Amino acid sequence: MHLLIPIAANVVLAIVLMALFLSRRTVDGARLADGDEALRLYRERFPDTTGVATVTADRQGALIALGHGAGIGLLQRRGRRWTARKLGAGDIRSVALTGGDTLIISLADFGWPRAQLPIADPEDRAAWLAGLGSLATTSAARTATVSTHA
Amino acid sequence: MPDATFVTAVGIAELLVLLLIPIELVLASRGWIRAEYDARDTLANVAVSIGSIFFWGSFNWILLGVVAVAYQHRLADVPFTWWSFLLAFVLEDFRYYWWHRIGHRSRWFWASHVVHHSSQHFNLSTNLRQSWTSQFSGLILMGVPLAYVGFNPALVGVAFGLNLLYQFWIHTEAVDRMPRWFEWLLNTPSHHRVHHASNPRYLDANYAGVFMIWDRLFGSFVAEQDDEPVRYGLVENLGTFNPIRIALHEYFGIARDLLRKGLTLAQRIGYFFGPPGWSHDGSRGTTADLRASEQARRQRSGHHAAEADASGEFAPTSVLG
């Protein structure tokens, strides 16, 4: 019973905040201008990164081919901010293609379980599918990736 | 015992401060104050808060029981007077400093406290993003000493409540700096922005609840620098607004590391109790590692700038001084 008042207060607060966000139509919409901007944002977390970035079709994410075989950089918008990861062997559970152009990456990370990345260019998409698949945790996942791609 | 009306007043005050959140949001959206709200981030804060209240309230008996046993075996009876209350407030803040410092320096305890730092925004609603597991980490034992010495647990409880109440207003970008004496003595929005930063220079600093003197005494004070804007959040930020994932992600990270094959017992202990970012192969970075890399980077860029200066090349640092 003693929990009801503070929980109810938080529920009311959530409703008020939702109403305010809706009435003010705040846009949580950062977008990437180009690959250079993606690299710049990625370097905020991994400062010495060199590589080439592919910006997603919705400009809300990027995949970065890190130099010297250092893995793959992942950058994705989270509200008005950006989240970055350096993906190596074992960091990806599986990767699949859906809707014709969207890569769905299942990550071995409870704090970031899934990334959805539409890639417009078919060659880029195929290359990333293969690259990400090569980092997938299990051989079964790698096989699934290849067959999805095929 | 503290007056029941006073205890109730502290509780009501803690609820009333919630009103400041929509006020800050509205003022910021009109451009009158500096604050940034993101809808999903803010609503995730409230959802985490509801979980935190549930778990804190449901398992509060663990803390109360431990403190009650300590108080039963107390060394002395500290009288309930104005000076004993002030003393309890200061000592409780000292306890908070060490509780907070341990919560940042060892991964098992960090797994509980990391929740509060997992937003990439910093506004009054960030207060709400609190741990779900604080009753289970073991740090509740830090509530024992004051009760064992002889301070009435209810008195300490009120001091704790006021401490938390004080910390509400420091989660804001709307206040730049307080007067110099205030910044020296007390925790302020500026000091707490540093505490919530992920920039290597600012990591693991400013643990104070109310009195900044603890950080100054124990070497953890770092001042906010105008030339280095704070980046809020974690070194490895979350890719989710799901409150369950926010509340529990680090425990899953610990489990994943502990289940790795081929580790020695010492390495497993390192993953459990070592500093956040510790890894057996050095593939991650602790605060010390990140600071060292950052310092080396600054030295390199300073060196390059000096060389460019000598050769007459353009270098931003030579322009900015």
A10–B50: do the CB atoms touch at under 8 Å?
A: yes
Identity of the amino acid at B320: L
From chain B residues 133-152, the ones with a CB under 8 A of any chain A CB are: none
Per-residue pLDDT for B163 more than 50? yes
Alpha-carbon distance of B302 to B235, in angstroms, equals 24
Residue A104 to chain B, least CA–CA distance (Å): 14
pLDDT digits 0-9 by tens, A111-131: 999 999 999 999 999 999 999
- Amino acid A141 reads A
Angle in degrees, CA B102, B109, B199, rounded to 5? 70
Confidence label for B302 from pLDDT (cuts 50, 70 and 90): confident
Average pLDDT, chain A: 87
Which structure tokens are listed for B255? 């489990």
Report yes or no: B95 and B214 within 8 Å, Cβ to Cβ.
Answer: no
Dig out the tokens for A31 from the structure. 């977008």
Q: How far is CA B132 from CA B39, B55, B57, B214, B274, in A?
A: 22, 6, 10, 26, 21
Q: Is the pLDDT of residue B303 over 70?
A: no
Alpha-carbon torsion angle A18, A19, A25, A29, nearest 10: 0
B238 contacts A3? CB cut-off 8 A: no
Strand partners, A102: A98, A118
pLDDT at B309 over 60: no
Which pLDDT band holds residue A141 (cuts at 50, 70, 90)? very low
* Predicted confidence (pLDDT) per residue in B66-104, tens digit: 999 999 999 999 998 999 999 999 999 999 999 999 999
Q: What letter would DSSP give residue B275?
A: P
Contacts of A5 in chain B (CB under 8 A): 15
DSSP letter assigned to residue B232:
B
Q: How confident is the model at residue B219 (pLDDT cuts 50, 70, 90)?
A: very high
- Residue to test with chain A: of B21, B240, B295, most A Cβ within 10 A: B240
Q: Cα–Cα distance between B192 and B117 in angstroms, integer?
A: 11
Mean pLDDT of B248-259: 97
Contacts of B296 in chain A (CB under 8 A): none
CA dist A96 → A88, A91, B80, B112 (Å): 17, 15, 66, 34
- Chain A CB contacts of B7 under 8 Å are none
- Burial category of A134 from C-beta neighbours within 10 Å (exposed 0-12, middle 13-18, buried 19 and up): middle
Which residues make Cβ contacts (< 8 Å) with residue B20, sequence separation at least 6? Answer: B124, B168, B169
Which pLDDT score is estimated for B278?
A: 97
Query: Chain-wide mean pLDDT for chain B?
Result: 91
* Cα gap B163→B170, rounded to integer Å: 12
Q: Does B305 touch chain A (CB under 8 A)?
A: no
Check the CA dihedral B122-B123-B125-B131 and report its sign: positive
pLDDT digits (tens, 9 = 90+) for B10-61: 677 778 889 999 999 999 999 999 999 999 999 999 999 999 999 998 998 9
* DSSP letter string, B280-299: TTS-S--HHHHHHHHHHHHH
